């Protein structure tokens, strides 16, 4: 009897080790895969189909200016580096792009972008009137303000702005492992309609994007 019990425990131990090994291989494979191919989803919504109005928790939403950018650089040095600074600065100088921020109690909680008359890919021109399409991108909520539905609030404000400007549709690109953003935009009424495969070849070859329609 004691021998049988030991045998059962050994089999259970071997099974757990086997499962652990399989899980390790899956994690390793996914890590290598993500270094070569980044997968994202292109979401689309008609602006007449907004499903959800988020609660306003006394957030302020407004256009960002250069002085706001300098404040972000000073206050969030661990999250906002030189590259990001100049990336946002370039957006501030573009004619068909607006950058926004969300504040609460005079504190900047995050920054967000919106492009007018733009799409993610040439393929979308078959399915969209690009001139009447808005493109939401560049969402970032600072660490200490996450979990407070700030992204949801900012997304809704940008939808309302597009609607006021008589745009018809809106799209956004979300990485497949960005579950919080996927939940946020799906709750508002966005639907997945394209898969984006971004092939990363390193410095020796130009990266390429490939799109596939979701039927």
Q: Which residues are 113's β-sheet partners? A: 99, 137
State yes or no: pLDDT of 22 exceeds 60.
yes
Which pLDDT score, from 0 to 100, does residue 32 have? 58
In a domain, 1, yes or no: no
pLDDT over 70 percentage in the chain:
79
What pLDDT digit, counting tens, does each position of 27-43 carry? 665 555 566 677 889 99
In a domain, 31, yes or no: no
Which pLDDT score, from 0 to 100, does residue 139 have? 97
Average pLDDT rounded to a whole number, residues 197-213: 65
In a domain, 13, yes or no: no
Average pLDDT rounded to a whole number, residues 202-214: 64
Contact by Cβ (8 Å): 137, 40: no
Which pLDDT score, from 0 to 100, does residue 204 have? 47
In a domain, 17, yes or no: no
Mean pLDDT of the chain: 84
User: What's this model's pTM, rounded to 2 decimal places?
Assistant: 0.80
In a domain, 15, yes or no: no
Total of domains in the chain? 1
| Band of residue 56 on the pLDDT scale cut at 50, 70, 90 | confident
The region, left, alpha or beta by phi > 0 then psi within -120 to 50, assigned to residue 48 is alpha
105: number of Cβ within 10 Å: 8
In a domain, 134, yes or no: yes
Which range of residues forms the domain containing residue 160?
A: 37-213
CA separation for the pair 26, 32 (Å, rounded): 10
Q: Which residues, including other chains, have CB under 8 Å from residue 103's CB and lie 6 or more apart? A: 59, 60, 62, 109
In a domain, 93, yes or no: yes
At residue 15, the 3 state secondary structure works out as: helix
CATH code of the domain containing 164: 3.40.630.30
Q: Which residues are 33's β-sheet partners? A: none
State yes or no: pLDDT of 114 exceeds 70.
yes
In a domain, 124, yes or no: yes
What pLDDT digit, counting tens, does each position of 118-133 carry? 888 777 888 889 999 9
């Amino acid at each position: 009897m004691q021998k049988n019990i030991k045998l059962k425990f050994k089999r259970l131990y071997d099974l757990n080790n086997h499962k652990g090994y399989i899980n390790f291989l899956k994690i390793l494979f996914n890590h290598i895969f993500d270094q070569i191919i980044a997968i994202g989803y292109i979401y689309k919504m008609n602006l007449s189909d907004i499903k959800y109005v988020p609660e306003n928790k006394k957030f302020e939403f407004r256009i960002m200016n250069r002085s706001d950018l300098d404040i972000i650089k000073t206050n969030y040095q661990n999250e906002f580096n030189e590259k990001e600074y100049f990336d946002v600065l370039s957006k501030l100088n573009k004619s068909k792009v607006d950058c926004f921020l969300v504040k609460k109690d005079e504190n900047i909680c995050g920054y967000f972008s919106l492009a007018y008359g733009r799409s993610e890919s040439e393929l979308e021109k078959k399915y969209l009137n690009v001139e009447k399409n808005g493109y939401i991108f560049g969402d970032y909520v600072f660490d200490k303000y996450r979990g407070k539905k700030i992204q949801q609030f900012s997304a809704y404000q940008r939808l309302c702005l597009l609607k006021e400007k008589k745009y018809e549709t809106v799209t956004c690109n979300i990485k497949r492992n960005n579950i919080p953003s996927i939940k946020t935009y799906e709750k508002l009424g966005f639907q997945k309609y394209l898969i984006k495969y971004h092939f990363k070849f390193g410095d020796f070859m130009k990266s390429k994007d490939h799109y596939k329609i979701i039927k």
